[in-house]
Amino acid sequence: MTTENKKTAKLDPDNTIAFMGVEGANADLACRQKYPYMRTLPCASFEDVFQAVADGQALLGLIPIENSQAGRVAEIHQLLPKINLHIVGEHFQAIEHHLLAVKGATLASVKDAYSHPQALMQCRSHLRELKLTPHTYSNTATAAADVAQWNDTSKAAVASALAAELYGLVNLAPHIEDAKDNVTVFVAIARDPIDPDPVKEKVLTTLLFTIRNIPAALYKSLGGFATNGVNILKLESYIPGGVSSSAQFYLTFEGHPKDRMVQLSLEELGFFCKKVTILGVYPADPARYR
């Protein structure tokens, strides 16, 4: 491929996926693993990711919604209803932390470790064993980039293997995460919805709903899922604007809205709700069922 062709491919929005962070971040790694044929577009904020997709700068965006160690990313639930985008997929990303340093550094020479607060917390025991002083950073990959620039054998970053590759660092201690089941769940967003076939693959539906301000409304609204045997995978509540009478709920369940049992469940849900908004119908990541 010529230089001109490479430049054209790089600018092709239909071959671009946006993420929040910088090159080498775990979100970047997740994009490359889920969609290896696409180029990644770093964005400064989640809002910028949504906007890049809405404006057509990127075909897809990949957004984290929860981590097995740190919990949910609450900010996402506030943003999803504001922009008319759709969830079109999910991805389970194993989070692996590595101790990265410049060439010539050794475990004996390194004294300081730089990374995002969550990464440092998730490697606390290993960092203590290595007798390293932790220093918080805005992003794991940014820490890796700065360690490379400093070229100081006493400093290291806790970051991904991709960051080591991109910034020319040596992996002094691979897999220093304390918990080996550290996983972040991402959802892919797009301007247009998709319609997966539940016969060919496991299908999930995610929606937002606001219940009516009556006694036992939440209990009653979910009764149809139990009655009709529809499996709920995720239910979270949050209060937009701090108004408790308008509590909203984020719900993910197995099944397609065209399924008869799902239709009956949604009818009962709607009876006790002021508003129900389907955010996406999409195939489940096979990792969910391993």
What is the torsional sign of CA 268, 227, 258, 281? positive
Q: How far is CA 51 from the centre of its chain?
A: 16
Q: What's residue 2's pLDDT?
A: 37
Q: What's residue 82's pLDDT?
A: 73
Write the CB contacts of 268 (distance below 8 Å, at least 6 apart in sequence).
220, 221, 223, 224, 227
Report the topology of domain 3-94+182-190: D-Maltodextrin-Binding Protein; domain 2 (3.40.190)
Inter-helix orientation angle 217-227/260-271, to 10°: 170
Concatenated DSSP letters for 5-43? HHHHHHT-GGGEEEEES-TTSHHHHHHHHH-TTSEEEEE
Domain limits of the chain? 3-94+182-190, 98-173, 203-282
What is the torsional sign of CA 118, 158, 139, 18? negative
Q: What's residue 244's pLDDT?
A: 57
Question: Helix (H, G, I), strand (E, B), or coil: what is residue 133?
Answer: strand
Domains 3-94+182-190 and 98-173 share a fold: yes
Q: How many angstroms separate the CA atoms of 25 and 19, rounded?
A: 9
Per-residue pLDDT of the chain (290 residues; tens, 9 = 90+): 333 343 434 558 999 999 999 999 999 999 999 999 999 999 999 999 999 999 999 999 999 988 877 667 766 767 777 778 999 999 999 999 999 999 999 999 999 999 999 899 999 999 999 999 999 998 899 999 999 999 999 999 999 999 999 999 999 999 999 988 889 999 999 999 999 999 999 999 999 999 888 888 899 999 999 999 999 999 988 776 655 556 789 999 999 999 999 999 999 999 999 999 999 999 999 999 88
Q: What's residue 5's pLDDT?
A: 40
- 98-173: CATH architecture: 3-Layer(aba) Sandwich (3.40)
Q: What's residue 168's pLDDT?
A: 96
Q: How many angstroms separate the CA atoms of 123 and 158, rounded?
A: 9
Report the topology of domain 203-282: Alpha-Beta Plaits (3.30.70)
